[in-house]
Structure 1
Amino acid sequence: MEGGCLCGAVRYVFDGEPINSGLCHCESCRRTASAPRLAFVGVLSEVFRFTKGAPVEYASSVGVIRSFCGRCGSPLTYRRDDAAGDLDVMTVSLDDPSGVPPTFHVWLSESLEWDRLAGNLPAYQRTRDG
């Protein structure tokens, strides 16, 4: 799968199947996306690589690094220090985001009051682990 930022300055590719695909409602993700929730696709770090340009990295919270295009601001990745082998890629940065629909919601405890869920995807108040 391939993707990149809005302006095309940063491009990436990853091989293999995604580990998971979800929608996050936490405040940090909402602010990153400037949207009520952020769609992400989990992949193994070892199968992901940037093919054009280099993103800017930002420590959005303790142990969390996000990357984005320094030119247009598009959010691209999210990685946690305690899960170095995993990487979350922003779904809508994929060339074909419709090919990886979300299968769950996380951090509903921080969702906006007016952001109503539709459908019947599993939903977790925090992470899927607890």
Structure 2
Amino acid sequence: MQPIEFLEGGCLCGAIRYRIEGNPFDADYCHCRMCQKSIGAAFGAWMDFNVSQVTWLKGNVTEFASSDFVRRGFCAQCGCSLTYRHTEYPDYLTLTIASFDDPNLVQPNYHIYTEQQLSWLKIEDNCQRYPQARTK
């Protein structure tokens, strides 16, 4: 990925806007059932940043506690999925790649929870695949 100075994005209706300074430190496709249900898609495409890289320009994300430690953020007006936040990692924020104004600037590096990937979904890329979460 080439160095990025700033990235901007937001929700479908425009009530929430954000700006990111610099590149994400990671990006992935998630095939878990929670992502499928919360986003309403076959998988989620996510990118990870340090909280200090993110500036909220307009509006506020509404969060839903989807598990003991996970908060999923969305726009209360249009329902657009925007964030994933794990409370045990307060310095990190995960954003949906598709919420960027130009989502082509970030490409996921790997797939997680492929055990739950929909059987009819065929993805032919060279990304590493993990049956569950990726462990470092």
Q: Provide the TM-score with structure 2 as the length reference.
A: 0.91
Q: CA separation in 2, counterparts of 1:55 and 1:110?
A: 28
State the shift of 1:117 in Å.
2.1
* Percent of aligned pairs with the same amino acid: 36
1:70 match: 76
Partner of 1:9: 15
- State whether structure 2 residue 85 is matched by structure 1 residue 79: yes
User: Which stretches in structure 1 are left out of the alignment for 5+ residues?
Assistant: none
RMSD over aligned Cα atoms = 1.1
SS in 2 for 1:30: helix
Instruction: Find the counterpart in structure 2 of residue 41 from structure 1.
Output: 47
Deviation at 1:71, TM superposition (A): 0.6
Structure 1: how far apart are the matches of 2:92 and 2:132? 18
Select the residue among 40, 61, 76 that pairs with 2:67.
Answer: 61
- Alpha-carbon separation, structure 2, partners of 1:62 and 1:111: 23
Structure 1 residue ranges (4+ consecutive) displaced by more than 3 angstroms after TM superposition: none
User: Counterpart of 2:94?
Assistant: 88
Question: Are residues 1:122 and 2:115 paired?
Answer: no
TM-score (norm 1): 0.95
The count of aligned residue pairs is 130
1:98 aligned partner: 104
Q: Unpaired segments of 5 or more residues in structure 2? A: 1-6
| 1:108-127 deviation line (CA, Å, top 9, x unaligned) | 11111112221121011111
**Structure 1, residues 1-49: CA drift from partner, whole Å, max 9, x if none?**
1100000000011112111111000001011111100101111112112
